[in-house]
Structures are given as C-alpha cells and as structure tokens.
Amino acid sequence: MKVSQYFTEWLAGKKPDLRKSTYDAYVIYIGRHINPYFDELGKELEELKPIDIKNYVTHKRTDGR
C-alpha cells in the first residue's frame, strides 16, 4: 500500500469522529501537501522510515507551508 493510499483510507475511517471543519481541513492538507509529497517519494507504507517523516517536515519548513 502506498503511503498516500494509507492517509486517504485513514481519513475516511476517521471521518465519523471528526467535526466537519476538521475533516474538511484534513482533506485539503492531505490532498494538497502530504499525498503529493509521498506520491513523488514513491514509497510503500512498509518502507517508510522515520527519516522520511523528518525529511517531509524539513521540506515543508524550507520549501512549503
């Protein structure tokens, strides 16, 4: 399973527990920021390492929002 697929499925499962405004914000953030980054990275969820998360945060702090 790709990392982006995991985030999409995770969000679908969390929808009943979230306020609409929170869910809508997550949809935007995952769709515009998280999934595109990890799609480009091309890793499967099982391959994801802590350094990949650290690199994402660094990327966002230096090149993104």
- Check whether 65 has a pLDDT greater than 70: no
Non-local CB neighbours of 32 within 8 Å, separated by 6+ positions: none
The C-alpha atoms of residue 10 and residue 23 are separated, in whole angstroms, by: 11
- pLDDT of amino acid 26: 98
Residue 63 has pLDDT above 90, yes or no: no
Query: Which 3-state string (H, E, C) describes 1-65?
Result: CEHHHHHHHHHHHHHHHCCHHHHHHHHHHHHHHHHHHHHHHCCEHHHCCHHHHHHHHHHHHHHCC
Q: Residue 42's pLDDT is what? A: 94
pLDDT (tens digit per residue) in 5-53: 999 999 999 999 999 999 999 999 999 999 999 999 999 999 999 999 9
